[in-house]
Chain A
Amino acid sequence: AQKITQTQPGMFVQEKEAVTLDCTYDTSDPSYGLFWYKQPSSGEMIFLIYQGSYDQQNATEGRYSLNFQKARKSANLVISASQLGDSAMYFCAMRSLESQGNLIFGKGTKLSVKP
């Protein structure tokens, strides 16, 4: 069965430093997509970055990059130069045929950026 695991319930980072949020996944599908979403305290879900299972290079979007290690089944999110506005919940998610194309989510990591 598919599963997303985020082992860090909470993380602290100093403003302007980089932080890595961990995500491991489990699926038997050879083709899948991995997503990261940010959820501020206001509650909306904001898409950050996507990595396809066949992508050869790690995805990057501005200050966000995805450290994709397929053999280890990990898809860690790296946020560079943290800002106070980065304080939020971060969710890793996966989609594949096994999930009928639906996104399944991990439990999330609460990131707090300290000034």
Chain B
Amino acid sequence: EADIYQTPRYLVIGTGKKITLECSQTMGHDKMYWYQQDPGMELHLIHYSYGVNSTEKGDLSSESTVSRIRTEHFPLTLESARPSHTSQYLCASSGRGEAFFGQGTRLTVV
């Protein structure tokens, strides 16, 4: 079983609030990712990291930011949430094989 955790699982928040979505993995993987997914739709890569102090933007432009201060931790932050940020956010990590995903955070901005 994969050891990658996301919190919170569900979040409803008001417009303009700052939020941080947490993601932690205990597998020692260097590569980590954030994907954004609308219900029933494809996954879009918004951020990834090759390791500590490495952050890169993905294929889909996002107003969110990420940091990678520790190998196991890859939080995503939205400075000012808007209704257009309503979506599911999936964190993943990988070694040399498949990527392991967290359970996701379903964010609703009202």
Instruction: List the interface of chain A (C-beta within 8 A of B).
Output: 35, 37, 42-47, 50, 89, 91, 100-108, 110
Judge whether A43 and B31 touch: CB under 8 Å.
no
User: Which 3 A-B residue pairings sit nearest by Cβ, starting from the closest?
Assistant: A45-B101, A107-B42, A47-B98
Residue numbers in A under 8 Å from B56 (CB-CB): 100
Instruction: List the interface of chain B (C-beta within 8 A of A).
Output: 31, 33, 35, 40-43, 45, 48, 56, 58-59, 88, 90, 92, 94, 97-104, 106
Q: What CA separation (Å) do A43 and B107 show in the bound complex?
A: 13
Task: Contacts A43-B106, A44-B104 given; indicate if A110 touches B48 (C-beta within 8 A).
Answer: no
Among A50, A102, A106, A107, the residue within 8 A (CB) of B33 is A102
Judge whether A104 and B59 touch: CB under 8 Å.
yes
Task: Contacts A43-B104, A44-B104, A50-B98 given; indicate if A108 touches B90 (C-beta within 8 A).
Answer: no
Among A42, A101, A102, A105, the residue within 8 A (CB) of B42 is A105
Task: Contacts A43-B104, A45-B90, A104-B45 given; indicate if A110 touches B40 (C-beta within 8 A).
Answer: yes
A-B contact count (CB 8 A): 50
Judge whether A89 and B40 touch: CB under 8 Å.
yes
Judge whether A45 and B40 touch: CB under 8 Å.
no
Chain A residue with the shortest CB-CB distance to B58: A102
Residue numbers in A under 8 Å from B33 (CB-CB): 102-103
Among B40, B98, B106, the residue within 8 A (CB) of A108 is B40
Q: What CA separation (Å) do A96 and B45 show in the bound complex?
A: 15
Judge whether A107 and B41 touch: CB under 8 Å.
yes
Shortest CB–CB separation between residue A75 and chain B, in angstroms? 14
Chain A residue with the shortest CB-CB distance to B42: A107
Given A43-B103, A43-B106; 9 other pairs, CB 8 A cutoff: A43-B88, A43-B104, A45-B101, A91-B43, A100-B48, A102-B33, A103-B94, A103-B99, A104-B59
